[in-house]
């Protein structure tokens, strides 16, 4: 699983939750690094922030969807942007789901399991 977020605290928070759920987690600090990692390593899922330096989450998702190796990878967008237009923009960019920060432990675990087609305990 790939977590793409420029905030160290957010990446660590997601890592702790996901590793407790049994997932292997890789991190990237922006969309460019995330795209490079995604093209080198197949991931089951990508969790991506919207607002990041160098390449934002929308641009990252557009690029991810253009590449044959990553076009079908599920993507969960997490952001502090809460309006309906932001949600539509995320889905148009290629997000499979959208969560507004702060994201709870249970919320993250539930969405990740659902996107991966796994049952939730």
pLDDT in tens, 72-88: 999 999 998 788 888 99
Interval 15-33 mean pLDDT? 97
Asked if pLDDT for residue 43 goes beyond 70, the answer is yes
CA distances to 32, 35, 36, 119 from 63, rounded to whole Å, are 10, 8, 11, 30
Asked if pLDDT for residue 28 goes beyond 70, the answer is yes
Q: How far apart are the first and last CA of the chain?
A: 19
Asked if pLDDT for residue 121 goes beyond 80, the answer is no
What is the per-residue pLDDT for 82? Answer: 80
pTM for the model: 0.94
Helix 84-93 / helix 57-66 crossing angle, nearest 10 deg: 30
Beta strands in the chain (DSSP E): 2-4, 26-28, 46-49, 75-79, 97-100
What is the per-residue pLDDT for 42? Answer: 84
């Amino acid at each position: 699983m790939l977590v793409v977020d420029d905030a160290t605290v957010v990446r660590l928070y997601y890592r702790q939750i996901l590793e407790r759920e049994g997932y292997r987690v890789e991190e990237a600090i922006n969309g460019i690094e995330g795209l490079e990692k995604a093209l080198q390593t197949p991931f089951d899922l990508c969790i991506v922030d919207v607002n990041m330096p160098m390449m934002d989450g929308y641009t990252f998702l557009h690029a991810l969807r253009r590449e044959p190796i990553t076009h079908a990878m599920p993507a969960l967008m997490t952001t502090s942007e809460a309006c309906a237009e932001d949600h539509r923009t995320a889905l148009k960019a290629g997000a499979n789901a959208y969560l507004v920060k702060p994201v709870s432990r249970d919320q993250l675990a539930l969405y990740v399991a659902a996107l991966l087609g796994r049952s939730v305990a």
